[in-house]
Amino acid sequence: MILHCVFLRFKSAVSQAERQSIYDAIVALKDVVPGMLDVKYGPNVSPEGLNGGFVDGFIATFEDQLVRDYYLKHPDHVEVGDRIVAATDGGLSGLLVFDLEV
């Protein structure tokens, strides 16, 4: 399995409703990406203070690397990805992506 971890620094102007809309769009990808097993999302709740400004995020679980790679190229993912980049502080620099094989 692959845990696709994405941490976000949303622009301050991005409302909670827009954040939820983005997360809903990510969850909806499960309907079009066979082998996308789960999505969890929300704010950082760690008390350590080591988030580097990445205070929101999501984790998508995939059966394997092939499914993750299919997801990355899927047109619906590209569309959601563009929304995310537009909503993050600094565009791509407002994202941190870390994939973990478990």
**With bands split at pLDDT 50, 70 and 90, how would you rate the model's confidence at 25?**
very high
The domain 2-101: what is its CATH number? 3.30.70.100
For residue range 40-95, list pLDDT tens digits in order: 999 999 999 999 999 999 999 999 999 999 999 999 999 999 999 999 999 999 99
pLDDT, residue 22, reads 97
Read off the amino acid at residue 72.
Answer: L
* Burial class for 19, CB neighbours closer than 10 Å (0-12, 13-18, 19+): middle
Domain ranges (residues) in the chain: 2-101
Distance, C-alpha 71 to centroid of its chain? 12
pLDDT, residue 90, reads 95
Q: Contact at 8 Å (CB) between 67 and 34?
A: yes
Mean pLDDT over the full length of the chain: 97
Q: In the 8-state DSSP scheme, what is residue 51? A: S
